[in-house]
């Protein structure tokens, strides 16, 4: 009944598994779950972190509100003596894009990864205490993905032992760095190193931008905000900036010199530390983005699932209740694959975290063998997961019908705040092309002493995969992990081999790469989808506690894989991996899986353990009491402050009285 304490209690009673155990599986461990719950409650219970009024604020109010929250968050972090893990979670649950994101997420890691020990000792204590605030100034007005095309210069002056940083063109203006516009005091600036007229390529420099006394820009620096972005509140809480240098001098020791150095005499030297270590920061950032994709998608799916269980439309018989929207097969076919994707991305994110740790340990020991693999994996999975998540959030908005269009649904702002991930830290198409190069190189080395490893190990069975034909005879066969893996491996292998063969026909490889770029992207996506499916299957082979939890995860894994097979059926058919009849059987099994997941849908999104504050949605609230909340929310709009609106006397009354000709408009 409308207005009851928990509208969704009947749905929760249907659960066929231990929800608390699933919460631990989602969190990764009972420790992480405990810390996460504690910090989430800390934020949700503090009125200072209120966010429901965000879409109604003007840009200046919005930005100042974000400054207040960031300062207050830091105050609470220091008062409560939160550790690094807890502080990071607090910033996540505040759920507001702010200058602190780039400070902790890019500025600090860049110094850790690319600064010498002396530089780290000088700069990191200041950054950790937030006595300086940093950003990451790489992208320019004219160049983003093509880092080697950056135009900003850093010319060494041996007379003064300084670098002169300069923006020689309009397009060399740094453009987009978060935190730069109004807050950052320092930046990691990427510029072309020039010594005696010779260009040594792009290197990183620590540059102070603003005075630490009055926050005014330092001499020679032009700096500001680039303007409003897509959406209401969303990413407009962030001061994305523009920055130009007019022959700004910085000391020589502010070049990040862990990998390459410039001596006092002006000599460029490579240090004993391998250049590959620079990629460590990139791998770290991208694996955190993959982990963030699962969280963002889970938020949208949680809102859409809960609302779909509350909303009723059509199907009423003999005066009975209408049908819950979630019971329509069309709704399930759009919603449940996204639910499965959220779990799939969570588990591949866990694996990427392990991969990053393993790679960094190997790099420290001088072993670079797994770096190309890690670079390709993080690039491809960043691209795939963020693209799917951005599209998935929008799909969840559509799944909520007209109410999903309201800012109070939480979905428009979630989409607007999330969609930049498809571009930053690597444009998603460009990243898949990088993956494709890795695949083509791997294929070219087959037959040599260098064997494919890691996620490309299946290329070692290329002859077998090129002869593969699925032996599926009934729908249930598609529930077998080896059957699914066989089809996905064969599809990925054949698409990569086909494009490699076509590339070999070009006398100029780069010309071929340009001509076949769309095919190369498709091959890379097939490879990345195989990675996610295989890592989900590997997760199922670990010890999973709790009654019925493994069974639910098996269903979600099958939904994820079979939905991809359905979506890319043309690939599987055209490469000869399966027959049309086997495709029909996969669809039949997929429909059956939707029915199996249906009774557990609410419990599966409850396992994400999102607070109402973090979701920020009247449609996705835990108690499902949607309509009273929607009604109450409407009256909070500033337009409802007055019964008769401003402008009535000037515009509405003359119109109604047909006096427009005499009115002064």
Catalytic residue IDs: 425
Q: Are 435 and 524 in contact (CB under 8 A)?
A: yes
- How many CB atoms sit inside 10 A of residue 310's CB? 23
How open is the CA angle 54-48-103, to the nearest 5 degrees?
A: 75
Q: What are phi and psi of 577, to 5 degrees?
A: -70, -35
Alpha carbon distance, N-terminus to C-terminus of the chain: 50
List of residues 6+ apart from 108 with CB closer than 8 A: 124, 127, 128, 134
Question: 392: number of CA atoms within 13 Å, CB side?
Answer: 31
Spatial separation of the C-alpha atoms in residues 559 and 564, rounded to whole Å: 8
Q: Which of 464, 436, 459 is nearest to 448 (CA)?
A: 459
DSSP designation for 190: E
Element (H, E) at 267: none
Q: How would you class 442 by CB atoms within 10 Å of its CB: exposed for 0-12, middle for 13-18, buried for 19 or more?
A: buried
Spatial separation of the C-alpha atoms in residues 222 and 209, rounded to whole Å: 9
DSSP designation for 625: -
Q: Are strands 221-225 and 134-137 parallel, antiparallel or unpaired?
A: unpaired
DSSP designation for 665: -
User: Within the chain, what is the greatest distance between any pair of CA atoms?
Assistant: 92
């Amino acid at each position: 009944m409308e207005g009851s304490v928990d509208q969704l209690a009947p749905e929760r009673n249907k659960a066929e598994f231990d929800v608390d155990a699933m919460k631990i599986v989602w969190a990764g461990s009972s420790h992480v779950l405990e810390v996460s719950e504690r910090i989430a409650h800390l934020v949700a219970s503090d009125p200072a972190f209120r966010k429901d009024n965000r879409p109604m604020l003007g840009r200046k109010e919005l930005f100042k509100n974000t400054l207040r929250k960031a300062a207050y968050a830091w105050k609470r972090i220091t008062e409560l003596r939160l550790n690094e893990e807890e502080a990071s979670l607090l910033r996540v649950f505040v759920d507001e894009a702010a200058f602190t994101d780039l400070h902790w997420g890019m500025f600090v890691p860049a110094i850790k990864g690319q600064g010498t020990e002396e530089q780290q000792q000088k700069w990191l204590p200041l950054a950790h205490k937030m006595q300086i605030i940093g950003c990451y100034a790489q992208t320019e007005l004219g160049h983003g993905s093509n880092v080697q095309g950056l135009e900003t210069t850093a010319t060494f002056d041996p007379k003064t032992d300084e670098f002169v940083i300069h923006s020689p063109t309009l397009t060399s203006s740094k453009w987009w760095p978060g935190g730069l516009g109004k807050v950052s005091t320092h930046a990691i600036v990427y510029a072309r190193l020039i010594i005696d007229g010779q260009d040594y390529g792009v290197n990183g420099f620590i540059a102070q931008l603003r005075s630490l006394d009055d926050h005014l820009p330092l001499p020679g620096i032009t700096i500001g905000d680039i303007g409003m972005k897509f959406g209401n509140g969303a990413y407009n809480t962030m001061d994305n900036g523009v920055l130009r240098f007019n022959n700004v001098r910085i000391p020589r020791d502010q070049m990040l010199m862990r990998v390459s150095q410039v001596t006092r005499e002006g000599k460029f030297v490579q240090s004993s530390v391998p250049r590959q270590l620079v990629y460590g920061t990139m791998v770290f950032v991208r694996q955190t983005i993959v982990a963030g994709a699962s969280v963002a998608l889970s938020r949208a799916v949680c809102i859409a699932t809960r609302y779909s269980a509350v909303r009723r439309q059509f199907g009423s018989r003999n005066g009975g209740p209408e049908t819950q929207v979630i019971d329509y097969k069309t709704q399930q076919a759009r919603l449940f694959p996204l639910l499965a994707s959220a779990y799939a991305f969570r588990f591949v994110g866990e694996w990427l975290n392990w991969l990053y740790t393993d790679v960094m340990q190997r790099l420290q020991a001088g072993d670079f063998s797994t770096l190309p693999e890690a670079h390709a994996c993080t690039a491809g999975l960043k691209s795939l997961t963020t693209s799917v998540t951005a599209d998935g959030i929008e799909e969840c908005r559509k799944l909520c019908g007209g109410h999903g269009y309201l800012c109070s649904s939480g979905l428009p702002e979630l989409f607007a705040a999330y969609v930049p991930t498809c571009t930053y830290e690597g444009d998603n198409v460009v990243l898949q092309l990088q993956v494709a190069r890795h695949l083509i190189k791997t294929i070219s080395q087959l037959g040599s002493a260098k064997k494919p490893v890691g996620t490309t190990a299946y290329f070692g069975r290329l002859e077998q995969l090129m002869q593969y034909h699925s032996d599926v005879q009934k729908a249930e066969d598609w529930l077998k992990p080896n059957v699914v893996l066989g089809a996905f491996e064969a599809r990925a292998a054949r698409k990569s081999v086909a494009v490699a063969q076509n590339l070999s026909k070009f006398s100029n490889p780069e010309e071929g790469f340009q001509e076949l770029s769309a095919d190369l992207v498709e091959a890379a996506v097939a490879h990345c989808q195989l990675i996610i499916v295989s890592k989900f299957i590997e997760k199922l082979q670990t010890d999973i506690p709790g009654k019925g939890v493994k069974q639910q995860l098996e269903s979600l894994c099958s939904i994820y894989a079979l939905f991809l097979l359905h979506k890319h059926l043309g690939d599987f058919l055209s490469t000869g991996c399966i027959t049309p009849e086997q495709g029909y059987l996969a669809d039949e099994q997929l429909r059956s899986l939707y029915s199996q997941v249906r009774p557990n849908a609410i419990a599966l999104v409850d396992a994400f353990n999102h607070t109402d504050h973090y979701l920020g949605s009247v449609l996705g609230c835990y108690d499902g009491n949607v309509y009273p909340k929607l009604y109450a929310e409407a009256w909070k709009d500033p337009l409802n402050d007055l019964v008769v609106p401003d402008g009535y006397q000037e515009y509405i009354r003359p119109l109604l009285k047909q006096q427009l000709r005499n009115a002064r408009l």
